[in-house]
Chains A and B, each alone.
Chain A
Amino acid sequence: MSGTGSWALIEAAAGSLIAHADELTELDRPIGDGDHGINMKRGAEAVLAKADSLAALPLAELLHQSGMTLVMTVGGASGPLYGTLLLELGKALQGQADPPDRATLAAAFGQAVAAVKARGRSDIGQKTLLDVLVPLHQALAGHQPLATLGPLVLAAAEATTPMLATRGRASFLGERSIGHLDPGARSSALMVVTLLEALHQGPATVTP
Protein backbone atom coordinates (compact mmCIF):
# COMPACT_ATOMS: atom_id res chain seq x y z
CA MET A 1 0.00 0.00 0.00
CA SER A 2 3.02 2.25 0.14
CA GLY A 3 3.72 5.08 -2.28
CA THR A 4 1.05 5.64 -4.88
CA GLY A 5 -1.16 2.91 -3.36
CA SER A 6 -1.61 4.91 -0.19
CA TRP A 7 -2.07 8.09 -2.16
CA ALA A 8 -4.91 6.47 -4.12
CA LEU A 9 -6.73 5.99 -0.80
CA ILE A 10 -6.22 9.59 0.22
CA GLU A 11 -7.41 10.69 -3.21
CA ALA A 12 -10.52 8.54 -2.89
CA ALA A 13 -11.37 9.89 0.57
CA ALA A 14 -10.78 13.47 -0.55
CA GLY A 15 -12.89 12.90 -3.66
CA SER A 16 -15.73 11.58 -1.53
CA LEU A 17 -15.68 14.67 0.71
CA ILE A 18 -15.70 16.97 -2.30
CA ALA A 19 -18.55 15.05 -3.94
CA HIS A 20 -20.62 15.17 -0.74
CA ALA A 21 -19.75 18.72 0.30
CA ASP A 22 -23.26 20.08 -0.30
CA GLU A 23 -24.88 17.23 1.58
CA LEU A 24 -22.57 17.71 4.58
CA THR A 25 -23.22 21.44 4.64
CA GLU A 26 -26.98 20.84 4.50
CA LEU A 27 -26.70 18.44 7.46
CA ASP A 28 -24.73 21.06 9.38
CA ARG A 29 -27.25 23.85 8.79
CA PRO A 30 -29.96 22.87 11.28
CA ILE A 31 -27.64 21.80 14.13
CA GLY A 32 -24.33 23.52 13.44
CA ASP A 33 -22.94 26.53 11.67
CA GLY A 34 -23.62 25.25 8.18
CA ASP A 35 -20.06 24.99 6.99
CA HIS A 36 -19.02 21.37 7.48
CA GLY A 37 -19.10 20.46 3.80
CA ILE A 38 -17.38 23.71 2.81
CA ASN A 39 -14.67 23.19 5.42
CA MET A 40 -14.03 19.55 4.58
CA LYS A 41 -14.00 20.31 0.85
CA ARG A 42 -11.42 23.04 1.42
CA GLY A 43 -9.21 20.60 3.31
CA ALA A 44 -9.65 17.83 0.75
CA GLU A 45 -8.76 20.17 -2.09
CA ALA A 46 -5.70 21.42 -0.22
CA VAL A 47 -4.48 17.83 0.22
CA LEU A 48 -5.14 16.99 -3.43
CA ALA A 49 -3.25 20.13 -4.49
CA LYS A 50 -0.14 18.65 -2.87
CA ALA A 51 -0.26 15.50 -5.00
CA ASP A 52 3.20 16.13 -6.43
CA SER A 53 4.90 16.17 -3.05
CA LEU A 54 2.65 13.66 -1.25
CA ALA A 55 1.87 10.89 -3.72
CA ALA A 56 5.11 8.95 -3.35
CA LEU A 57 5.41 9.20 0.45
CA PRO A 58 5.29 6.16 2.71
CA LEU A 59 1.92 5.73 4.45
CA ALA A 60 2.92 7.11 7.86
CA GLU A 61 4.48 10.25 6.40
CA LEU A 62 1.57 10.70 3.99
CA LEU A 63 -0.88 10.59 6.90
CA HIS A 64 1.23 13.10 8.83
CA GLN A 65 1.41 15.54 5.92
CA SER A 66 -2.27 15.15 5.10
CA GLY A 67 -3.21 15.68 8.76
CA MET A 68 -1.07 18.80 8.94
CA THR A 69 -2.73 20.11 5.77
CA LEU A 70 -6.17 19.59 7.32
CA VAL A 71 -5.08 21.35 10.51
CA MET A 72 -3.89 24.36 8.54
CA THR A 73 -6.82 24.61 6.11
CA VAL A 74 -9.99 23.27 7.77
CA GLY A 75 -11.77 25.70 10.05
CA GLY A 76 -13.94 25.05 13.07
CA ALA A 77 -13.62 21.90 15.12
CA SER A 78 -13.31 19.64 12.08
CA GLY A 79 -9.74 20.69 11.27
CA PRO A 80 -8.32 19.89 14.71
CA LEU A 81 -10.40 16.71 15.03
CA TYR A 82 -9.70 15.16 11.63
CA GLY A 83 -6.18 16.59 11.65
CA THR A 84 -5.50 14.94 14.99
CA LEU A 85 -6.91 11.64 13.70
CA LEU A 86 -4.52 11.58 10.75
CA LEU A 87 -1.52 12.96 12.64
CA GLU A 88 -1.88 10.35 15.39
CA LEU A 89 -2.50 7.56 12.88
CA GLY A 90 0.69 8.58 11.08
CA LYS A 91 2.59 8.72 14.35
CA ALA A 92 1.34 5.28 15.40
CA LEU A 93 2.25 3.73 12.03
CA GLN A 94 5.72 5.27 11.96
CA GLY A 95 8.32 2.49 11.74
CA GLN A 96 5.67 -0.18 11.15
CA ALA A 97 5.41 -2.40 8.07
CA ASP A 98 3.93 -0.56 5.10
CA PRO A 99 1.25 -1.62 4.42
CA PRO A 100 0.48 -2.44 8.06
CA ASP A 101 -1.19 -5.72 8.97
CA ARG A 102 -4.66 -5.59 10.41
CA ALA A 103 -3.64 -5.86 14.06
CA THR A 104 -1.17 -3.00 13.65
CA LEU A 105 -3.74 -0.89 11.85
CA ALA A 106 -6.36 -1.60 14.52
CA ALA A 107 -3.97 -0.64 17.31
CA ALA A 108 -2.86 2.52 15.50
CA PHE A 109 -6.46 3.49 14.78
CA GLY A 110 -7.30 2.96 18.45
CA GLN A 111 -4.52 5.34 19.41
CA ALA A 112 -5.76 7.91 16.88
CA VAL A 113 -9.37 7.66 18.10
CA ALA A 114 -8.18 8.12 21.69
CA ALA A 115 -6.42 11.31 20.57
CA VAL A 116 -9.62 12.58 18.94
CA LYS A 117 -11.50 11.90 22.17
CA ALA A 118 -8.91 13.89 24.08
CA ARG A 119 -8.95 16.76 21.57
CA GLY A 120 -12.73 17.06 21.69
CA ARG A 121 -13.02 16.09 25.38
CA SER A 122 -15.73 13.82 24.11
CA ASP A 123 -16.71 10.18 23.83
CA ILE A 124 -19.28 7.94 22.22
CA GLY A 125 -22.96 8.85 22.58
CA GLN A 126 -22.56 12.62 22.29
CA LYS A 127 -23.62 12.88 18.63
CA THR A 128 -20.20 13.39 17.08
CA LEU A 129 -17.80 11.69 14.68
CA LEU A 130 -16.75 9.49 17.59
CA ASP A 131 -20.06 7.66 17.26
CA VAL A 132 -18.66 6.30 13.99
CA LEU A 133 -14.95 6.09 14.82
CA VAL A 134 -15.32 4.18 18.11
CA PRO A 135 -17.50 1.35 16.74
CA LEU A 136 -15.24 1.17 13.71
CA HIS A 137 -12.23 0.70 15.96
CA GLN A 138 -14.04 -1.96 17.96
CA ALA A 139 -14.91 -3.82 14.74
CA LEU A 140 -11.36 -3.52 13.43
CA ALA A 141 -9.88 -4.76 16.67
CA GLY A 142 -12.53 -7.46 16.98
CA HIS A 143 -11.64 -9.08 13.65
CA GLN A 144 -14.97 -8.38 12.01
CA PRO A 145 -14.82 -9.09 8.25
CA LEU A 146 -13.88 -5.99 6.25
CA ALA A 147 -17.02 -6.39 4.14
CA THR A 148 -19.18 -5.68 7.21
CA LEU A 149 -17.44 -2.41 8.08
CA GLY A 150 -19.08 -0.25 5.39
CA PRO A 151 -22.65 -1.06 6.48
CA LEU A 152 -21.50 -0.77 10.10
CA VAL A 153 -20.23 2.80 9.79
CA LEU A 154 -23.20 3.96 7.73
CA ALA A 155 -25.56 2.55 10.36
CA ALA A 156 -23.46 4.06 13.15
CA ALA A 157 -23.76 7.48 11.51
CA GLU A 158 -27.53 7.06 11.09
CA ALA A 159 -27.74 6.12 14.76
CA THR A 160 -26.68 9.67 15.69
CA THR A 161 -30.03 11.00 14.40
CA PRO A 162 -32.06 10.29 17.56
CA MET A 163 -29.17 11.30 19.83
CA LEU A 164 -29.14 14.40 22.02
CA ALA A 165 -26.00 16.41 21.23
CA THR A 166 -23.94 17.12 24.32
CA ARG A 167 -20.73 18.30 22.63
CA GLY A 168 -20.10 20.82 19.90
CA ARG A 169 -22.27 23.61 18.53
CA ALA A 170 -25.28 21.26 18.27
CA SER A 171 -25.34 20.91 22.05
CA PHE A 172 -26.51 24.55 22.30
CA LEU A 173 -29.78 23.36 20.75
CA GLY A 174 -30.45 20.87 23.51
CA GLU A 175 -33.41 18.68 22.63
CA ARG A 176 -33.80 20.39 19.27
CA SER A 177 -30.62 18.57 18.20
CA ILE A 178 -32.61 15.32 18.26
CA GLY A 179 -33.79 14.11 14.85
CA HIS A 180 -30.80 15.33 12.85
CA LEU A 181 -27.95 13.20 11.52
CA ASP A 182 -24.63 14.46 12.82
CA PRO A 183 -22.57 15.90 9.93
CA GLY A 184 -19.25 14.79 11.43
CA ALA A 185 -20.51 11.24 11.86
CA ARG A 186 -21.70 11.32 8.25
CA SER A 187 -18.39 12.63 6.86
CA SER A 188 -16.50 9.98 8.83
CA ALA A 189 -18.73 7.22 7.51
CA LEU A 190 -18.44 8.50 3.95
CA MET A 191 -14.65 8.46 4.12
CA VAL A 192 -14.53 4.98 5.61
CA VAL A 193 -16.92 3.54 3.03
CA THR A 194 -14.90 5.14 0.25
CA LEU A 195 -11.63 3.81 1.66
CA LEU A 196 -13.05 0.30 1.92
CA GLU A 197 -14.27 0.44 -1.66
CA ALA A 198 -10.94 1.77 -2.86
CA LEU A 199 -9.18 -1.05 -1.04
CA HIS A 200 -11.39 -3.85 -2.28
CA GLN A 201 -13.44 -2.90 -5.27
CA GLY A 202 -11.35 -0.52 -7.28
CA PRO A 203 -12.66 2.99 -7.93
CA ALA A 204 -14.91 4.37 -5.23
CA THR A 205 -18.57 5.08 -5.68
CA VAL A 206 -20.61 6.07 -2.66
CA THR A 207 -24.23 6.93 -3.06
CA PRO A 208 -25.73 9.34 -0.58
Chain B
Amino acid sequence: MTVGIVIVSHSPKVAEGTADMVRQMVGTMVPLAWCGGDGQGGLGSEVGAILQAMETAWSVDGVAVLVDLGGAAMQAEMAIELLDEGRRARVQICEAPIVEGAVIAATEASGGSDLAAVRAMAEQLSP
Protein backbone atom coordinates (compact mmCIF):
# COMPACT_ATOMS: atom_id res chain seq x y z
CA MET B 1 0.00 0.00 0.00
CA THR B 2 1.09 3.60 -0.54
CA VAL B 3 0.36 6.83 1.28
CA GLY B 4 -3.18 8.03 0.52
CA ILE B 5 -4.07 11.47 -0.84
CA VAL B 6 -7.04 13.61 0.19
CA ILE B 7 -7.95 16.76 -1.75
CA VAL B 8 -10.04 19.41 0.03
CA SER B 9 -11.22 22.41 -1.96
CA HIS B 10 -13.99 24.93 -1.33
CA SER B 11 -15.15 24.00 -4.82
CA PRO B 12 -16.21 20.43 -5.65
CA LYS B 13 -15.21 21.10 -9.25
CA VAL B 14 -11.67 22.08 -8.26
CA ALA B 15 -11.40 19.05 -5.96
CA GLU B 16 -12.71 16.62 -8.53
CA GLY B 17 -10.64 18.14 -11.33
CA THR B 18 -7.52 17.93 -9.21
CA ALA B 19 -8.31 14.28 -8.46
CA ASP B 20 -8.68 13.66 -12.21
CA MET B 21 -5.20 15.08 -12.77
CA VAL B 22 -3.80 12.87 -10.01
CA ARG B 23 -5.45 9.80 -11.53
CA GLN B 24 -4.00 10.63 -14.93
CA MET B 25 -0.55 10.66 -13.35
CA VAL B 26 -0.67 7.66 -11.04
CA GLY B 27 -3.74 5.68 -12.07
CA THR B 28 -5.39 3.81 -9.26
CA MET B 29 -2.30 2.70 -7.36
CA VAL B 30 -2.62 5.49 -4.76
CA PRO B 31 -5.66 5.66 -2.46
CA LEU B 32 -7.34 8.94 -3.35
CA ALA B 33 -10.42 10.88 -2.26
CA TRP B 34 -11.65 14.42 -2.69
CA CYS B 35 -14.30 16.63 -1.16
CA GLY B 36 -15.54 20.16 -1.67
CA GLY B 37 -18.55 22.37 -1.30
CA ASP B 38 -20.91 23.11 1.55
CA GLY B 39 -23.06 20.04 0.99
CA GLN B 40 -25.90 22.20 -0.27
CA GLY B 41 -24.65 23.06 -3.72
CA GLY B 42 -22.58 26.05 -2.64
CA LEU B 43 -18.88 26.64 -2.15
CA GLY B 44 -17.37 25.68 1.20
CA SER B 45 -15.78 22.93 3.20
CA GLU B 46 -17.25 20.52 5.70
CA VAL B 47 -15.53 18.59 8.46
CA GLY B 48 -17.87 15.64 7.99
CA ALA B 49 -17.04 15.36 4.29
CA ILE B 50 -13.31 15.65 5.03
CA LEU B 51 -13.54 12.83 7.58
CA GLN B 52 -15.35 10.74 4.99
CA ALA B 53 -12.63 11.42 2.42
CA MET B 54 -9.93 10.47 4.93
CA GLU B 55 -11.75 7.21 5.52
CA THR B 56 -12.01 6.54 1.78
CA ALA B 57 -8.32 7.24 1.11
CA TRP B 58 -7.14 5.62 4.33
CA SER B 59 -3.85 3.79 4.19
CA VAL B 60 -1.82 2.20 6.97
CA ASP B 61 1.06 4.27 5.62
CA GLY B 62 -0.90 7.46 6.30
CA VAL B 63 -2.70 10.13 4.35
CA ALA B 64 -1.43 13.41 2.91
CA VAL B 65 -4.05 16.17 2.73
CA LEU B 66 -4.00 19.00 0.19
CA VAL B 67 -6.19 22.06 0.85
CA ASP B 68 -6.91 25.26 -1.01
CA LEU B 69 -7.80 28.26 1.20
CA GLY B 70 -7.46 28.95 4.93
CA GLY B 71 -10.93 27.77 5.89
CA ALA B 72 -10.33 24.39 4.31
CA ALA B 73 -7.01 24.09 6.15
CA MET B 74 -8.66 24.80 9.49
CA GLN B 75 -11.49 22.39 8.67
CA ALA B 76 -8.94 19.69 7.79
CA GLU B 77 -7.05 20.30 11.06
CA MET B 78 -10.30 19.96 12.95
CA ALA B 79 -11.09 16.71 11.12
CA ILE B 80 -7.66 15.29 12.02
CA GLU B 81 -8.31 16.04 15.69
CA LEU B 82 -11.56 14.12 15.49
CA LEU B 83 -9.85 10.97 14.19
CA ASP B 84 -9.07 8.06 16.50
CA GLU B 85 -5.87 8.63 18.38
CA GLY B 86 -4.10 5.87 16.47
CA ARG B 87 -4.84 7.52 13.14
CA ARG B 88 -4.28 11.15 14.07
CA ALA B 89 -0.50 11.13 13.70
CA ARG B 90 -0.76 9.38 10.35
CA VAL B 91 -2.61 12.21 8.62
CA GLN B 92 -0.73 15.35 7.66
CA ILE B 93 -1.67 18.53 5.86
CA CYS B 94 0.78 19.58 3.14
CA GLU B 95 1.33 23.30 2.84
CA ALA B 96 1.44 23.35 -0.92
CA PRO B 97 -0.60 24.61 -3.87
CA ILE B 98 -3.53 22.22 -4.14
CA VAL B 99 -3.24 21.06 -7.77
CA GLU B 100 0.54 20.83 -8.12
CA GLY B 101 0.84 19.58 -4.54
CA ALA B 102 -1.66 16.78 -5.04
CA VAL B 103 -0.07 15.62 -8.29
CA ILE B 104 3.49 15.62 -6.97
CA ALA B 105 2.47 14.11 -3.61
CA ALA B 106 0.64 11.28 -5.36
CA THR B 107 3.56 10.71 -7.71
CA GLU B 108 5.92 10.51 -4.76
CA ALA B 109 3.52 8.22 -2.91
CA SER B 110 3.23 5.92 -5.91
CA GLY B 111 6.97 5.28 -5.67
CA GLY B 112 6.52 3.93 -2.16
CA SER B 113 7.79 6.93 -0.18
CA ASP B 114 6.63 7.39 3.40
CA LEU B 115 4.30 10.17 4.57
CA ALA B 116 7.11 12.53 5.63
CA ALA B 117 8.77 12.23 2.21
CA VAL B 118 5.47 12.71 0.37
CA ARG B 119 4.72 15.81 2.39
CA ALA B 120 8.23 17.21 1.99
CA MET B 121 8.06 16.75 -1.77
CA ALA B 122 4.74 18.61 -1.97
CA GLU B 123 5.96 21.37 0.30
CA GLN B 124 8.99 22.02 -1.91
CA LEU B 125 6.45 23.71 -4.16
CA SER B 126 5.56 26.28 -1.49
CA PRO B 127 6.83 29.79 -2.06
A-side residues, CB < 8 A to B, are 33, 35, 39, 71-72, 75-81, 83-84, 119-120, 167-169
Chain B 31-56, CB-CB to A under 8 Å as 1, else 0, gives 00000001000111111100000000
Residues of A within 8 A of B82 (CB): 71
For the complex, is B70 an interface residue (Cβ under 8 Å from A)? Answer: yes
For the complex, is B27 an interface residue (Cβ under 8 Å from A)? Answer: no
Give the Cβ gap from A118 to chain B, nearest Cβ, in Å.
10
* C-alpha spacing A78/B70, complex, angstroms: 11
* C-alpha spacing A77/B45, complex, angstroms: 9
Main SS of chain A's interface residues? helix
Do A75 and B70 touch across chains, with their CB atoms under 8 A apart? no
Give the Cβ gap from A174 to chain B, nearest Cβ, in Å.
16
Do A79 and B69 touch across chains, with their CB atoms under 8 A apart? no
Give the Cβ gap from A105 to chain B, nearest Cβ, in Å.
24
The interface-forming segment of B15-23, B71-79, B108-116, B119-127 is B71-79
With A72-B48, A169-B69 as known contacts, state yes or no: A80 contacts B43, CB within 8 Å: no
Do B44 and A35 touch across chains, with their CB atoms under 8 A apart? yes
Do B77 and A119 touch across chains, with their CB atoms under 8 A apart? yes
B-side residues, CB < 8 A to A, are 10, 38, 42-48, 69-71, 74-75, 77-78, 82
Nearest CB in chain A to that of B37: its residue = A75
Nearest CB in chain A to that of B46: its residue = A75
Residues of B within 8 A of A75 (CB): 38, 44-46, 71, 75
Report 24 cross-chain contacts, Cβ distance below 8 Å, ordered by A residue: A33-B10, A33-B43, A35-B44, A39-B44, A71-B78, A71-B82, A72-B47, A72-B48, A75-B38, A75-B45, A75-B46, A75-B75, A76-B45, A77-B71, A79-B47, A79-B75, A80-B71, A80-B74, A84-B78, A119-B78, A120-B74, A168-B70, A169-B70, A169-B71
With A72-B47, A169-B70 as known contacts, state yes or no: A80 contacts B42, CB within 8 Å: no
* C-alpha spacing A119/B70, complex, angstroms: 11
Question: A119 contacts which of B46, B48, B74 (Cβ < 8 Å)?
Answer: B74
* C-alpha spacing A84/B79, complex, angstroms: 12
Do A83 and B44 touch across chains, with their CB atoms under 8 A apart? no
Residues of B within 8 A of A35 (CB): 38, 42-44
9 closest A-B pairs (Cβ-Cβ)? A75-B44, A76-B71, A80-B74, A77-B71, A80-B78, A75-B38, A77-B74, A71-B47, A71-B78
* C-alpha spacing A47/B93, complex, angstroms: 29
